[in-house]
A and B are shown apart, each in its own frame.
Chain A
Amino acid sequence: MTLLWLILIPFIGGLLCWQAERFGPMPPRWIALGTMLIELLITLGLWFQGEYHLANAGTASEAVRWSMEWRVPWIPRFGIDVHLALDGLSLVLIALTGFLGMLAVLCSWNEIVKRVGFFHLNLLWILGGVVGVFLSIDLFLFFFFWEMMLVPMYFLIALWGHSGSEGRTRIRAATKFFIYTQASGLLMLVSILGLVFVHHANTGEYSFDYATLMQTSLSESTAMWLMLGFFVAFAVKLPVVPVHGWLPDAHAQAPTAGSVDLAGILLKTAAYGMLRFALPLFPDASQAFAPVAMTLGVIGIFYGAILACGQQDMKRLIAYTSIAHMGFVLIGIYAGTELALQGVVLMMVAHAFSAAGLFILSGQLYERLNTRDMRQMGGLWGRLGSLPGFSLCFVAASLGMPGTANFLGEFLILFGSFPVAPGFVVVASFGFVLAAVYSLLLMQRVYFGPAQGEGVFADLDRREYLMMLSLVGLVLLFGLYPQPLLDTTGAAMGEVQRLFGVVSQSTTLLLTGAP
């Protein structure tokens, strides 16, 4: 029942925010903040009670083990249940959702002044949808939440976004976002239905249940096609080059809270989807597909990094860096070793913090300068109080400075992938040089050089300072002592590795070219 509440709380909170607007702009903000705080506290409570690293002790015969499960029939005729389950991976990601949700509320505190209640309704419903995605293990329910979170995001961009130059209006960005994710989501629906029908043909029963469908025996080509349907949906959301086009526009045009949610959580649903569904449901097909996926990852690293160097708009730059970072995630997922998968988890968390930090900072810069165009910045170091110092911390994190969680995430991925695919790792490593190039270009263009004007801008107030400090603290904490996190997801990742790795022996040779 707790699991159901985890999903319901944001939705109920959102409705309350909407209605509370009649008492002024402050109540919706406080209600939203409180809602996400409760969400976070419940998750942390579950974490303290649960024993997530012991679940690993289960034998291979039991297909999937969950720390918590909740199940009621929904449409029995087609075998559709409301089936929620929690393991270490979903727990971590839900905690992340709660925390970033709080940040999203906090960073909109002064930014959003129009229709405050409806804004928070949308914001919380996105988060509710995301939590639903992380908890559903009935494929129909998963698809339901997957599509559900798009709608409020669309409104968030379309109604509260900024319009950019060159005809990049917020409506256009929102539409592009919606079409990309919607179209790819439909492919996933086709795959889900395909899988269900194959299962029906085999056993004569309809079922959308994760554990049941995992046992489905598929012919090689069917598995490949179905897997591709899932992969495309997740690839659009991650995003993987070449289907990344919606991301820079959506990021640049979205309000700060939207960017924080997009980069921090929505992109992670894609990686989660791969780890939870694409790999375990189709291990052989995924294994055969791994070289292609890793190639796409490497392309993403370089393409994202090179494009980031060419941007004038600060938020577009950060958006492209997300593409580069997600390239590492993709490589780690398809390498499939425990070390790489744990690196993926750490990288997801680290990227959520660092990208959120950078987006919040660019929002704060926008509030002070009224521009995101870096050509109009420069020489801001001495004029913004402690804001440049925080920028430096997040820039250091995004270029993978050791001591930050980003470094550890990337290095675990590469250490873990090297035995499986040394060639990809070597090439991907040079992405670090480009990461340094775009990160330091940001510093150089925004903060160094001669000052563009007189006087100083307002320093960070207490709310902004605490937000930044907590993010920096978390980045450093998980960079120096990530073990609590890794222990939590250890069992879940071990499970993925086991499901995926059964066939890995043969294809290791294929990938490395040498024993």
Chain B
Amino acid sequence: MTLLPWTFLLPLAGTLILSLSRGRLSPRASSVVGVTSVGLAALVAAWVGWRFLASGETSIDMTLWTWVTVGDFRPTIGLHLDGLSLTLMGIITGVGFLIHLFAAWYMQDEAGRLRFFAYMNLFVFSMLLLVLGDNVLLLYLGWEGVGLCSYLLIGYYFETAANGWAAFKAFIITRLGDVFLAIGLFLMFRELGTLDITEILARAPDVWAEGAWQAQVASLLILGGALGKSAQLPLHTWLADAMAGPTPVSALIHAATMVTAGVYLIARLHGVFELAPAVLYLVGVIGALTLLLAGFAALAQTDIKRVLAYSTMSQIGYMFLALGVGAYDAAIFHLMTHAFFKALLFLSAGSVIVCTHHEQDMRRLGGLWRKLPLTYAGFVIGGAALSALPLVSAGFFSKDEILWQELASGHGGLMLAGLVGAFLTSLYTLRLIIGTFHGEPGSDNARHAEPGRGPVHGLPLVVLAVLSTFIGAWIHPPLEGVLPAGPGADAHGAGHTVLGVVAALVSLGGLVVAAWLFLRRQRWLAERVAGGWEARLWWFWNQAWGFDIAYDRLFVRPYRWLVRLLRSDVIDRALLLPAWLSWALHRGLSLTQSGKLRLYATTMAAGATLILLVLVLGG
């Protein structure tokens, strides 16, 4: 157990070695350092996890030192390991290691690998602190830390200004969510007098009645933070642009770990949400809306990474759906399987991109399945899990659980949204696979694709592919006693079976329709979207319902206008008035001192007359 801090200290050590080396490490050596540190962290995490499960305890606390002590304000640098953080720790280090390994292949031609791995290791460090922190302030440290790493990695290819702006956007929008979270922390500390998560969960029901306004406001504020980080409506617009980063970054940060931090946060603070049922329901509604809107948006993308980005939003929508009915374990289960198959899909996409000499537009890809068999297999298995192919994929089991919990809790509407979303998922998944791997190659780069070689490329894909099948669904997060059981936990009857069959039919139906549309009726489809209202709808979906445009008009432009208006510091200008006045006075008076005798005589005479007049009239 004492090894627990090493899970995050090792990646931190990696960052420090890389950043303090001042360029003395070769690119190859920096890859080795970057991958090894996370690999060792994964080993430590496995050992700690095994010992923890063997010990049979619900949780283990470990305080490294007290961060600050001022009166009652006493957050620690302390760790809390339970089933929930163990699950997340496993995903972060395990999947994280595979992605680091793959990144060593992906980035092999990049000169700036040192910087890349320094950021990646720092990310793993921050993410582990996020899930292991025993108080909300330490959680917030990790929370902001992953945001910073996300910013740096999205903008990794800094020579293109657009990448920097994409990173900028991601950071600012998530920061907006973070501010809500911060205010939530201020409120919780004032009301509950503690920052320790266990104590918050214990005290909240005593201090707040169910539905109390403080509980409602606190959970709304926490939700605000979760929405920003997990790219849910209305703070979702940054994720698609975040694809500007290297693909392993998208796999690690924008699919497997960081974007699901919002789900973790709500599950972790579930006790607060339980006291605000209306807010909890809102979580589900936002999840439903996001999964549908993002599903449609994914249908109309041509960039393979953007398809996957919208699909990630949509899948996190499913997790929020589960959270909304109190099925926290179903949400975490889906978080885990999603980490497997979405990481697989992103790594496969990365493999496509490198093998086709940095081509990632579906219109310029195609016909790759013979040339890149391993990548193709990765895409098919990952895609099967994403579209919840019955019985053989991991995604089926986790999604089925979510839908069942919706039904069991009596929220038929939310369940229906989930089913429609499943249909959409099948559609865009198959469209993605067909567009990338079938048909005719759309460019020379695709025609001259060269498959990736070596275990550094192959191993992560194979392991993640295995985990994306039903084998991955055998891993059940040890959440008993940490999170309350979902509403449909005890009632696995005929209803569940029927729903499972319906869900299976919906996803299979989606696949069939997609195959028919994108293989048989391809030309017809292309003609339809070439003009008329279909074209407008396609454009609208492609723009993800126009949120970016609206935000630009509503927030960005007014702010820029304000900045331009105030740029010259108007208040300062106003305060210069006395200076200007005295200067003007000086000019005016010095004009009288012209040296012209005639003027002097005239003014003297005028002055004398004036005084005489005053004396005469006044007297």
Contact = CB atoms under 8 A, between A and B. Distances in A.
Q: Does B associate with A?
A: yes
Interface of A: 241-245, 248, 303, 306-307, 309-311, 338-339, 342, 378-379, 381-382, 385-386, 389, 392, 396, 401-403, 407-408, 411-412, 414-416, 418-419, 422, 425-426, 429-430, 432-433, 436-437, 440-441, 443-444, 447-451, 480-483, 486, 490
B161 interface: yes
B517 interface: no
Contacts, number: 142
A483 B159 contact: no
Interface stretch (B422-430, B491-499, B566-574): B566-574
Interface stretch (B165-173, B200-208, B401-409): B165-173
Given A245-B575, A307-B569, A436 B186 contact: no
Nearest to A312: B567
Contact of A412 (B68, B145, B179, B559): B68
B159 A449 contact: yes
Contacts of B540: none
A1 to B, nearest CB: 34
Given A436-B172, A437-B172, A449-B159, 7 more contacts: A378-B161, A414-B186, A432-B182, A444-B168, A447-B158, A448-B161, A481-B65
Given A306-B563, A386-B22, A401-B148, A415 B186 contact: yes
Interface string B467-484: 000000000000000000
Contact of A415 (B176, B189, B564, B566): B189
A436 B566 contact: no
A147 B564 CA distance: 36
B566 A430 contact: no
B175 A436 contact: yes
Contacts of B183: 425-426, 429
Interface stretch (B35-43, B69-77, B454-462, B590-598): B69-77
Contacts of A430: 179
A454 B20 CA distance: 26
**Highest count of chain A CB atoms <10 Å: which of B71, B73, B137, B158:** B158
Contacts of B70: 338-339, 342, 412, 416, 486, 490
A450 B160 contact: yes
A440 B172 contact: yes
B65 A411 contact: no
Contacts of B564: 310
25 contacts: A242-B575, A243-B575, A245-B572, A306-B562, A310-B564, A379-B159, A382-B112, A396-B148, A401-B145, A403-B141, A415-B185, A416-B70, A418-B187, A422-B190, A425-B183, A429-B186, A433-B172, A440-B171, A444-B161, A444-B164, A448-B155, A449-B159, A449-B161, A486-B68, A486-B69
A422 B183 CA distance: 9
B576 interface: yes
B538 interface: no
A415 B71 CA distance: 12
A403 B171 contact: no
A429 B175 CA distance: 11
Contacts of A385: 22-23
B369 to A, nearest CB: 37
A419 B155 contact: no
Contacts of A311: 567
Contacts of B165: 444
B19 A389 contact: yes
B569 A338 contact: no
Contacts of A422: 186-187, 190
B66 interface: yes
Interface of B: 19, 22-23, 65-71, 73, 77, 112, 137, 140-141, 143-145, 148, 151-152, 155, 158-161, 163-165, 167-168, 171-172, 175-176, 178-179, 182-183, 185-187, 189-190, 559, 562-564, 566-567, 569, 571-572, 574-576
A493 B155 CA distance: 43
B73 A412 contact: yes
Contacts of A381: 158
Nearest to B191: A419
A426 B190 CA distance: 13
Contacts of B148: 396, 401
Contacts of A339: 70-71, 73
What 10 pairs across the A-B complex have the smallest Cβ distances?
A448-B164, A245-B572, A310-B567, A402-B141, A449-B161, A418-B186, A310-B563, A448-B158, A242-B571, A436-B175
A450 B159 contact: yes
B145 A402 contact: yes
A480 B145 contact: no
B569 A483 contact: no
A408 B569 contact: no
B170 to A, nearest CB: 10
Contact of B73 (A389, A415, A437): A415
Contacts of A342: 70
A510 B179 CA distance: 26
A492 to B, nearest CB: 13
A418 B189 contact: yes
A481 B164 CA distance: 33
Contacts of B71: 338-339
A480 B77 contact: yes
**Highest count of chain A CB atoms <10 Å: which of B68, B159, B189:** B68
B182 A402 contact: no
A432 B164 CA distance: 20
A339 B190 CA distance: 12
Contact of A433 (B137, B152, B176): B176
Contact of B190 (A307, A419, A432, A433): A419
Nearest to A179: B579
Contacts of B19: 389
A256 B512 CA distance: 69
Contacts of A451: 159
**Highest count of chain B CB atoms <10 Å: which of A242, A414, A436, A450:** A436
A236 to B, nearest CB: 11
Contacts of A416: 70, 73
A432 B228 CA distance: 15
Contacts of B67: 480-482
Contacts of A407: 141, 144
A401 B146 CA distance: 11
A489 B296 CA distance: 58
A309 B159 CA distance: 22
A241 B572 CA distance: 9
Contacts of A443: 164
Nearest to B143: A402
Contacts of B77: 480
Contacts of A309: 563
Contacts of A426: 183
Contacts of B182: 411, 414, 429, 432
Given A403-B145, A414-B186, A436 B171 contact: yes
B19 to A, nearest CB: 7
**Highest count of chain B CB atoms <10 Å: which of A378, A416, A448:** A448
A432 B575 contact: no
A412 B143 CA distance: 18
A386 B189 CA distance: 40
Given A243-B575, A483-B66, A248 B569 contact: yes
A403 B145 CA distance: 9
A245 B158 contact: no
Contacts of B141: 402-403, 407
Nearest to B185: A415
A245 B571 contact: yes
B560 to A, nearest CB: 9
Contacts of B575: 242-243, 245
Contacts of A425: 183, 186
Contacts of A242: 571, 574-575
A20 B566 CA distance: 47
Contact of B161 (A382, A415, A450): A450
Contacts of B178: 432
A385 B559 CA distance: 34
Contacts of A450: 159-161
